Amino acid sequence: MNKEIKVTDLGHKDYKDTWDYQEQLFKGIVDAKVKNRREDAGLKTNNYFLFVEHPHVYTLGKSGNFSNLLLNETQLQEKGATFYKINRGGDITYHGPGQIVGYPILDLENFFTDIHKYLRLLEEMIILTLAEYGLKAERSEGETGVWLDVGTPFARKICAMGVRASRWVTMHGFALNVNADLGYFDNIIPCGIRGKAVTSLHVELGKDKVDETEVKNKLLKHFKTLFEAELVFSKATVF
């Protein structure tokens, strides 16, 4: 079992380019696992954690409803946004500047083989991080992600999640609104859920801007503990 995870901060990067990079890393892990099972090759399977900030983009999960995108192609161009239908779970979401996106690409057989537990630990990482800012974040039953004021008329989502897993290898991940322009969420029905708001950490704290590097460090601290992992930082990482 290899609990070492290579952490890379890709900075500001195009969604499709990042998706392609994820697929490359994902395929490398799956290929190693297939070879191990066919040939007893004894290959170590790698684990990765990518941080990235995307230009304005809307993505729709494989089971999502296209009608939850409220813009046509011309309006997308006017907003300076792109759209992709992708191979993760979940419905539609938005990525853009001021949002911390994390893509753990893990061989879960190095940790545990339980997708439900995997999602709950990602949520817990967010919940623990937000607690350090004095916010009581929670899960909402039947709705993956992290919320504030669950069970009240003021419930609002601060972190969306959607993953893909095959042969116990994960990709895609979470999107935490830190300094996000929430106006872009008005162009979709976020995650296909009507009647609930979206928020961002800077709004909740009443600040013009929250230190995103500080937030990333807190996320990684909790991720490391929850997954009992060893983190190794690549040269591209900002930390």
Lowest mean pLDDT across 105-114, 134-143, 228-237 = 228-237
Above 80 in pLDDT, residue 237? no
Cβ burial of 23 (10 Å; 0-12, 13-18, 19+) is middle
| Contact indicator for 71, 187 with CB cutoff of 8 Å | yes
Annotated binding site for substrate: 88-95, 160-162, 173-175
Helix (H, G, I), strand (E, B) or coil at 158: strand
- Choice between 62 and 109, residue whose per-residue pLDDT is larger: 109
Burial of 135 (0-12, 13-18, 19+ CB in 10 A): middle
Domain map of the chain by residue range?
4-233
Confidence of residue 236 (pLDDT cuts 50, 70, 90): low
Please tell me the least confidently modeled range out of 21-25, 68-72, 158-162: 68-72
Most confident among 26-30, 40-44, 72-76, 138-142 (mean pLDDT): 26-30
Confidence at residue 90, expressed as pLDDT on a 0 to 100 scale: 80
Residue 126 reports pLDDT greater than 70: yes
Q: How far is Cα 24 from Cα 159, in angstroms, rounded to an integer?
A: 26
Q: Name the pLDDT band for 239 (thresholds 50, 70, 90).
A: very low
For the entire predicted model, the pTM comes to 0.94
pLDDT confidence of residue 10: 96
Helix (H, G, I), strand (E, B) or coil at 100: strand
Residue 185: pLDDT over 60 = yes
Share of the chain above pLDDT 90, in %: 81
> Does residue 50 or residue 187 have the better pLDDT?
50
194 — pLDDT class (breaks 50, 70, 90): low
Nearest in space to 173 (alpha carbons), one of 121, 110, 137, 131:
121
CATH class of the domain whose range is 4-233: alpha beta
Residue 203: per-residue pLDDT: 98
Quick one: pLDDT at residue 238? 43
Average pLDDT of 96-115? 98
Q: Which two tokens stand for residue 196?
A: 């609930």
Q: Which two tokens stand for residue 40?
A: 């007893």
Six-digit token pair at 73?
Answer: 């192609």
Kind of pairing between the strands at 4-12 and 48-53: parallel
Do 189 and 70 touch, CB atoms closer than 8 A?
yes
**191 flagged as catalytic:** yes
Q: How high is the mean pLDDT of the chain?
A: 93
Region 136-157 average pLDDT: 93
Tell me which of 171, 191, 215, 231 is the catalytic residue. Answer: 191
